[in-house]
Amino acid sequence: MAKKSKAFSELLRLQKMSQGSEKPLKSFEKKLREKSLPFKEIVVSPSGEVTMSEVLEDFIEPYRKSNETKGSMRTLLTIGIIAWNLALSPESKRQEMIDRVFNKDLLKGDKRLKADIQGLIDELIARKNRYFSEKKRMIVDFELKELGSEYHLSVASSLSPEFSESEFAFKVGDSVIVKQGVLDPDLGTDIGGWQGRIVTIERQSNLIGIEWDSITLKNIPSSVIDQCEVENLDWAQMCLFSTDVELTQPRDTEEDVAAIIEQIASNIVGAI
């Protein structure tokens, strides 16, 4: 048998990737149908139109890096979606929404980091208004999967940027559990099954801030806590999409959480 040319092999690879990309898209659509999303009309791949995944990739393209990881790509997508949805909201409400998402507790009072993120969001909002003003869909959720050496992005969007706050499934103080397969947006590790309480809600961006309960905190590996300290991340709290979690019964009290946070913080200081 004649040896396949490099060009022919590359063509086969691209064909397989094209066929394979349909699987994660269909899986994502099935997952969305099974969720109770706080939006009346959700679309993933509108017929006859450019998909929102293509639009979102174009939107964040200038900020991508050549050596990006899945974790860094997910972080950029998350910030990009926040900015995109904020651009669709009344300008008078934007700063209040940003402050609720990136509050001092989630950023451990890091004013410089907050300023950097604020600057990036402002740039992205301006980019949305200048180059994508005709796009009116609000981005509800996304899924990023590795497909060979590439990433496959699936995006769900609402047909209208309007939705009722009364339809939102969560409130501050609710106990929630992270769904299986959800990854830490910063470290890329599996956090399925982690439990905690909602401490902040950003309805416009569909994001919630979660403080882990005492049982979850006790079981976080010390290596993860050490990495969070090095990268100036908050090991006690995390910001996730509301579709990444579901309601559950509390396993402890807020006093239990405060006690274990104090104990872990004391151990960190003692190790320095």
Domain that holds residue 236: 168-263
141 shares a domain with 178? no
Asked whether residue 1 is assigned to any structural domain, the reply reads no
160 and 34, same structural domain?
Answer: yes
Contacts of residue 168, Cβ cutoff 8 Å, sequence gap at least 6: 38, 201, 203, 242
**CB count, 10 Å around CB of 258?**
12
pLDDT by residue for the chain (272 residues), tens only, comes to 344 344 444 444 444 444 444 444 444 444 444 444 444 455 555 444 568 889 999 999 999 988 788 888 888 998 899 899 888 887 777 777 777 766 644 555 567 777 888 889 999 999 998 999 888 888 888 888 887 778 888 888 875 444 444 446 788 899 999 999 888 888 888 999 999 999 988 776 678 899 999 999 999 999 999 888 888 888 999 988 888 899 999 999 999 999 999 999 988 876 65
Q: Which of 111, 136, 164 is the last residue of a domain?
A: 164
H-only helix segments in 89-157: 91-101, 111-131
Q: Which residues of 192-220 are buried (b: 16+ CB within 10 A; e: fewer)?
A: eebbbbbbbbbbbbbbbbbbbbbebbeeb
**For the chain, how many structural domains are there in total?**
2
Q: Write out the two tokens for 43.
A: 């679309």
Q: 7 lies in a domain?
A: no
In a domain, 127, yes or no: yes
Q: Are residues 107 and 27 in the same domain?
A: yes
3-state secondary structure 181-250: CCECCCCCCECCCCEEEEEEEEHHHCEEEEEECHHHHHHCCHHHHHHHHHCCCCCCEEEEEHHHEEECCC
Both 206 and 125 in a single domain? no
149 shares a domain with 34: yes
Report if residue 65 sits inside a domain.
yes
- Of 132, 164, 196, the one marking the end of a domain is 164
Residues 155, 29: one domain? yes
